[in-house]
Amino acid sequence: MKKAVWLTFFALALALGFGCKPAGESGNGSAAGTGSSGSGSTASNARPEPPGPGNKVTGDVIKVGVIASLNGELKPWGEDSVRGIRMAVDEFNAAGGLDGKKVELVIEDTNSKPEVGKSATEKLVAEDGVIAVLGEIASGITQPAAEVCFRYGVPIISPGSTRVDITNIGANVFRVCFTDNFQGAALAKFAYEDLGLRRIAMLTDKKQPYSTGLSDVFRQAFTSFGGEIVDEQFYEGGSTQDFKPQLTNIKAKNPDGLFCSGYFNEVGPIARQKEIVGLNVPMIGGDGWDSAELLASGGSGIIGGYWSNHYSNLEDRPEVKRFIEEFKKRYGGPPATAMAPLGYDAALVLLDALKRAESLDSKSLMKAIAETKNLQAVSGTITIGPDGNAEKSILILQVTKEARDKPVKRIEFFRFEPKSN
């Protein structure tokens, strides 16, 4: 695929809210997630119990449903998530399964659309009788799927939906990725404590709720640590590639760092143009920077920047090395996106819970998933919190001349609840 076509395709996919980079959900059926900074459930706020009875395993086959974007704009990331899921399940079955019972995946294509994801989930839980569902990567597709699972009493684990309130739907909804609340706060902590920054300016894409939400959390967290936000400038993603006016205004405020909460397709030009206006400060951003095009797009201006993600192929952890080695054997190359290890980890959480469940039914499995503690996974050590979210570390990466994702530091999970606007 030619570079220009790839950039256009990737930008479209980002706008639909794939993976852990949700790009806004308006409640009108869009596939986009939301980067809302509204707080999710806390330990003191019990989530509603699903009214449905769930499903039970009969015979020697444990049916698990999978919803994934195998066609449409999100296909590359949906395919990666399924590859990770298949790999985990195949390893589980090869090791003997559960008392001789094997897990069978029933995979449905959401076609990158919320309404298709909803109907696919209805089929899985009502007709196929799966005891759990894995998916989706996009918050906007996960939401209606989770609502279906809630009605039927079936647990669902999302590999990559960061929208904060997804798990508020019910006690059957879980995720293995971090939320935007933690991501924004962790970046602020790293900027303040590790980089020693005190006066940060922000450049926010006001068209994307992911960007506005992440900026809001970063602002609240950074100021709570003692830092100062000296300026915030805005742009609308997709409408311009000229950021020099905003960068010139920012330079006048003399910041010591620049937080860019948008996506890579704007971050690249911003990095180049900050050099033109003479704004020579480090850039910081979130998982919206995740693209193989980041270095080519940002040029020398992006080098030295820091961003957060769930995982990097360059990590030295044994879990990552083993995963990449096996992934290469199976698929002929390393994972292209973080959705592969996150899909693997979602399945890993489910399979671990299966071994601990009191009986092979949805209700018992739901309870076992909620009790997951310190599970060694590819993307980090996972504990499921009382809000259904994965309490795990986040990876800080640095852009260098050699790589866009050089691992710098893992920040352990901490809870930060931003105030609602």
The reply to whether 66 falls in a domain is yes
Residue 357 burial by Cβ neighbours in a 10 Å radius (0-12, 13-18, 19+): buried
Q: How far apart are CA 249 and CA 60, in angstroms?
A: 66
State residue 9's pLDDT score: 38
Q: Judging by DSSP bridges, how do beta strands 306-309 and 380-384 pair with one another?
A: unpaired
State residue 27's pLDDT score: 32
Q: What is the largest CA-CA distance in the chain?
A: 70
Q: How far apart are CA 48 and CA 122, in angstroms?
A: 20
Q: Hey, what are 321's tokens?
A: 């090395």
252 plus 328 within the same structural domain: no
169 torsion bin: left (phi>0), alpha (psi -120 to 50), beta (else): alpha
Q: How far apart are CA 153 and CA 171, in angstroms?
A: 9
104 plus 138 within the same structural domain: yes
Contact 387, 129 (CB under 8 A): no
324 plus 299 within the same structural domain: no
Q: Judging by DSSP bridges, how do beta strands 306-309 and 375-377 pair with one another?
A: unpaired
Domain that holds residue 350: 61-178+316-388
The reply to whether 30 falls in a domain is no
The reply to whether 15 falls in a domain is no
Contact 152, 170 (CB under 8 A): no
State residue 45's pLDDT score: 61
The reply to whether 53 falls in a domain is no
Residue owning tokens 């820091």: 306
253 plus 148 within the same structural domain: no
82 plus 104 within the same structural domain: yes
What pTM, to 2 d.p., does this model score? 0.82
State residue 388's pLDDT score: 97
Render each residue's pLDDT in the chain as its tens digit; 421 residues.
Answer: 333 333 333 444 443 444 444 333 323 333 333 233 333 344 446 899 999 999 999 999 999 999 999 999 888 889 999 999 999 999 999 999 999 999 999 999 999 999 999 999 999 999 999 999 999 988 889 999 999 999 999 999 999 888 888 999 999 999 999 998 999 999 999 999 999 999 999 999 998 878 888 999 999 999 999 999 999 999 998 888 999 999 999 999 999 999 999 888 899 999 999 999 999 999 999 988 888 789 999 999 999 999 999 999 999 999 999 999 999 999 999 998 889 999 999 999 999 999 999 999 999 999 999 999 999 999 999 999 999 999 999 999 999 999 999 999 999 999 998 887 6
Q: Which residues are paired to 390 by β-bridges?
A: 384
186 plus 174 within the same structural domain: no
188 plus 233 within the same structural domain: yes
State residue 48's pLDDT score: 98
Residue among 51, 61, 82, 97 at smallest CA distance from 341: 82
2 torsion bin: left (phi>0), alpha (psi -120 to 50), beta (else): beta
Contact 33, 162 (CB under 8 A): yes
The CATH number of the domain holding residue 161 is: 3.40.50.2300
Q: What are the Cα distances from residue 320, in Å, to 4, 350, 379?
A: 31, 19, 8
144 plus 240 within the same structural domain: no
296 plus 202 within the same structural domain: yes
List the end-to-end C-alpha distance of the chain, in Å, as a whole number: 42
The reply to whether 297 falls in a domain is yes
305 plus 192 within the same structural domain: yes
Q: How far apart are CA 317 and CA 212, in angstroms?
A: 33
219 plus 291 within the same structural domain: yes
State residue 40's pLDDT score: 39
Give the number of C-alpha atoms closer than 13 A to the C-alpha of residue 312, restricted to the C-beta side: 25
The three-state (H, E, C) secondary structure of the chain, written as one string = CCHHHHHHHHHHHHHCCCCCCCCCCCCCCCCCCCCCCCCCCCCCCCCCCCCCCCCECCCCEEEEEEEECCCCCCHHHHHHHHHHHHHHHHHHHHCCCECCEEEEEEEEECCCCHHHHHHHHHHHHHHCCCCCEECCCCHHHHHHHHHHHHHHCCCEEECCCCCHHHHHHCCCEEECCCCHHHHHHHHHHHHHHHCCCCEEEEEEECCCHHHHHHHHHHHHHHHHHCCEEEEEEEECCCCCCCCHHHHHHHHCCCCCEEEECCCHHHHHHHHHHHHHCCCCCCEEECHHHCCCCHHHHHHHHCCCCEEEECCCCCCCCHHHHHHHHHHHHHHCCCCCCCHHHHHHHHHHHHHHHHHHCCCCEHHHHHHHHHCCCCEEECCEEEEECCCCCEECCEEEEECCCCCCCEEEEEECCCCCCCCCC
The reply to whether 163 falls in a domain is yes
State residue 293's pLDDT score: 85
305 plus 328 within the same structural domain: no
State residue 421's pLDDT score: 63
How many domains, in total, are found in the chain?
2
The reply to whether 13 falls in a domain is no
The reply to whether 214 falls in a domain is yes
Contact 8, 326 (CB under 8 A): no
